[in-house]
């Protein structure tokens, strides 16, 4: 049964395991992306860590037949998958690196099973995208409703309009093209569903339940997760470290991989190699 479970999880999430270390580092991609978005960052950690990459169901080469609208109607469904992937990879002392919505998915996973995680690296995280009283999420509810309606009526048009806004770095248009192509490779039905789950989620009330230490990597000039959001997370997450990056836009894993690698490496203690030198 255990073997079947492992192969099932591997196929469902297109899990890739690389690297030489004994400590596991899991990379989780954001909305409309897949594990390929980590290709400039993950290789830097292959020498010191066992690196795990995967695609959320509906993304990349995941098994689309496993998509369940009820399960994935909340971020908890994705967090459940993350815990299964983490168990597959060894299930303890894990460094979890989550971009965008996956940062919150990682937080939910670590609240459910804190004993499995060593540290969380949260890249462009947001606990809620909609402004609410004193809380600045970056969007009015009407903005989000319009965005979701646009997506429902014209997914490809939405992709080409949104990709440059999300990516920023207008002087490097190739980055937005890559993000747009990634959106277009994602199954539109599932993408629309994931967008609703992502943009309508509000996990502010969960933040004080997290005990695992975290690093918040906040980009400058990020339209999806503005600086006020990163600072809010920093205030509400115990044991969190806040770094304001020079990188702009919402995808520093693509636009500023060197700065991203350096910020992560600076935060993590030097790992013990798998060769018994502790």
109-157 pLDDT tens trace: 999 999 999 999 999 999 999 999 999 999 999 999 999 999 999 999 9
29-81 pLDDT tens trace: 999 999 999 999 999 999 999 999 999 999 999 999 999 999 999 999 999 99
Q: How far apart are CA 124 and CA 140, in angstroms?
A: 19
Active-site annotation, residues: 100, 222, 250
Token pair of 230, please? 């990163």
Q: What is the pTM of this model?
A: 0.94
- The yes/no answer on whether domain 2-267 falls in CATH 3.40.50.1820 is yes
3-state secondary structure of 152: helix
Residue 127 burial (10 A CB sphere; 0-12, 13-18, 19+): buried
């Amino acid at each position: 049964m255990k073997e079947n479970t492992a192969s099932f999880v591997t196929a469902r999430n297109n899990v890739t395991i690389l690297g030489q270390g004994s400590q596991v580092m899991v990379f989780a991609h954001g909305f409309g992306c897949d594990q390929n978005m980590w290709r400039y960052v993950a290789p830097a950690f292959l020498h010191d860590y066992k690196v795990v990459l995967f695609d959320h169901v509906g993304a990349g080469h995941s098994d689309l037949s496993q998509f369940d609208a009820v399960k994935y109607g909340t971020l908890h469904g994705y967090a459940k998958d993350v815990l299964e992937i983490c168990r597959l990879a060894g299930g303890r002392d894990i460094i979890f690196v989550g971009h965008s919505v996956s940062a919150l998915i990682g937080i939910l996973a670590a609240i459910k099973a804190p004993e499995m995680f060593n540290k969380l690296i949260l890249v462009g995280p947001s606990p809620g995208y909609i402004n609410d009283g004193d809380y600045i999420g970056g969007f009015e509810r009407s903005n989000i409703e319009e965005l979701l309606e646009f997506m429902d009526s014209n997914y490809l048009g939405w992709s080409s309009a949104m990709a440059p806004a999300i990516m920023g770095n207008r002087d490097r248009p190739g980055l937005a093209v890559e993000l747009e192509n990634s959106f277009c490779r994602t199954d539109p039905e599932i993408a629309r569903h994931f967008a609703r789950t992502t943009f309508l989620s509000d996990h502010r009330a969960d933040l004080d339940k997290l005990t695992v230490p975290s690093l918040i990597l906040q980009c400058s000039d990020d339209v999806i997760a503005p600086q006020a959001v990163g600072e809010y997370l920093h205030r509400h997450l115990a044991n969190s470290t806040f770094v304001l990056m020079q990188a702009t836009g919402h995808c520093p894993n693509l636009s500023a991989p060197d700065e991203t690698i350096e910020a992560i490496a600076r935060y993590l203690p030097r790992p013990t190699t798998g060769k018994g030198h502790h």
